[in-house]
Amino acid sequence: MPLRHVFRIAHGVTEVQRSVIVELREGGVSGYGESAPLAYYNVTADSIRQDLEAARGPIEAAAFEDPAEFWQRMRPHFEGKMFALCGLDEAAHDLWGKRLGKPVYRLWGLGADRAPLSNYTIGIDTVEKMVAKMKEFDGWPIYKIKLGTDDDLRIVRELRRHTGAIFRVDANCAWTADQAVANSRELKTMGVEFIEQPLPRDDWTGMERVCRESALPVIADESCITEDDLPRCAGRFHGINVKLVKAGGLTPARRMLLDARRRGLKTMVGCMTESTVGISAIAQLLGMLDYVDMDGAALLASDVATGVRVEKGRAIFPAENGCGVRLTVP
């Protein structure tokens, strides 16, 4: 899928997003999920397909009534292969809801009337191009600004001149503890809501200091990939950002969000650059969230599905059950 613009973050550059769409079909009904590869984690579209094909036999042999139970049965076949398991789990939830004739979030007992608004992400570029990208999507209530350059504060100051919207910043592990604390004070004066993943993933000592001294809340991303990571985040972050592909799907993501709440952490789900298939899965969790980043499909020049739309930050649900997905390409 081609992107609207070259997308730069501290980890690298993307112009075209490859993605694997997973279909589970039963009784003439299809459920769809998405596994978006990520070079930073050495996960490719080909490796995801291979992981799924290797488990084809157990998958096709398994009848299921509940996708969470299905996830537990499939988990042993996907050791260390969470990206592939995510696509399978999303497809299972979509199929489950469609078979029962209800949206997934309603089957979980959640509503959609108090859903948080999504940000729109501005990737790293020249300041002029970052301003132009923001103006192309003028009217969004929140913008997330990717940072990790030698000119981070100037970037935010310049963007602030062009909008009164809320800002969030994501350093993608690029700062030191000293930088994070100092930057937080400046960024607070510029209307920034929080800082996402300021330090490298394993700098737990540095994050204790940042969490204590930062003028803004700090949200874990790379430091909170799976359920096993979450206990260490308490006392080092004020909240967590769960990515479905890294966690292994909706099933573990729900558990992580509930665990975060018990530990007094704010809850967020973020997206990769992915199609409406993956974004529609994220939307089912909105009733559990304080923040959400589900602009992945808005970054694409062309999509492969219909489902939950995001218009100026607001999720609009289709008249479709499950996760609401219909493919628009063969």
Does 80 score more than 90 pLDDT? yes
Q: Quote the CA–CA distance of 180 and 172 in Å, as a whole number.
A: 12
Residues sharing a CB contact under 8 Å with residue 71, sequence separation 6 or more, in sequence order: 85, 89, 92, 248, 249, 251, 252
Can you give the pLDDT at residue 8? Answer: 64
Residues in a beta bridge with 24: 31
Owner of token pair 């394993």 = 202
Q: Which CATH class is domain 120-327?
A: alpha beta
18 touches 37 (CB < 8 A):
yes
Can you give the pLDDT at residue 166? Answer: 98
Task: Give the distance, in angstroms, between the CA of residue 320 and the centroid of all CA atoms in the same chain.
Answer: 22
pLDDT digits (tens, 9 = 90+) for 112-158: 888 999 999 999 999 999 999 999 999 999 999 999 999 999 999 99
Cα 112 to Cα 108, 155, 316: the distances in Å are: 12, 34, 9
Q: Which is it for the CA torsion 145, 306, 41, 105, positive or negative?
A: positive
94 touches 104 (CB < 8 A):
yes
Can you give the pLDDT at residue 184? Answer: 98
Q: Which CATH class is domain 2-107?
A: alpha beta
Could you tell me which of 265, 234, 238, 270 has the C-alpha nearest to residue 253?
270
Can you give the pLDDT at residue 240? Answer: 98
Does 254 score more than 90 pLDDT? yes
Q: Quote the CA–CA distance of 24 and 31 in Å, as a whole number.
A: 5
Residues sharing a CB contact under 8 Å with residue 35, sequence separation 6 or more, in sequence order: 19, 20, 22, 48, 52, 83, 84, 86, 87, 245
Does 9 score more than 70 pLDDT? no
User: Helix 152-160 crosses helix 177-188 at what angle (to 10 degrees)?
Assistant: 20
Can you give the pLDDT at residue 18? Answer: 92
Angle at 15 between CA 297 and CA 150, to 5 degrees: 100
* Average pLDDT score over residue span 196-202: 97
Q: Is 183 helix (H, G, I), strand (E, B) or coil?
A: helix
The mean of the pLDDT values for the chain is 95
* Average pLDDT score over residue span 67-92: 97
Can you give the pLDDT at residue 64? Answer: 87
Can you give the pLDDT at residue 146? Answer: 95
3-state secondary structure labels for all residues of 28-74: CEEEEEEECCEHHHCECHHHHHHHHHHCHHHHHHCCCCCHHHHHHHH
CATH 3.20.20.120 occupies which residues in the chain?
A: 120-327
Cα 282 to Cα 34, 190, 214, 238, 315: the distances in Å are: 11, 29, 29, 21, 10
CATH 3.30.390.10 occupies which residues in the chain?
A: 2-107
* Average pLDDT score over residue span 306-314: 97
Could you tell me which of 228, 226, 220 has the C-alpha nearest to residue 201?
220
Amino acid present at 328:
T
Residues in a beta bridge with 21: 34
3-state secondary structure labels for all residues of 83-118: HHHHHHHHHHHHHHHHHHCCEHHHHCCCCCCCCCCE
190 touches 161 (CB < 8 A):
no
Can you give the pLDDT at residue 6? Answer: 72
Could you tell me which of 272, 274, 244 has the C-alpha nearest to residue 256?
244
Amino acid present at 64:
F
137 touches 113 (CB < 8 A):
no
User: Helix 204-213 crosses helix 177-188 at what angle (to 10 degrees)?
Assistant: 30
Amino acid present at 209:
R
Helix (H) or strand (E) holding 160: helix 152-160
Q: What is the pTM of this model?
A: 0.95
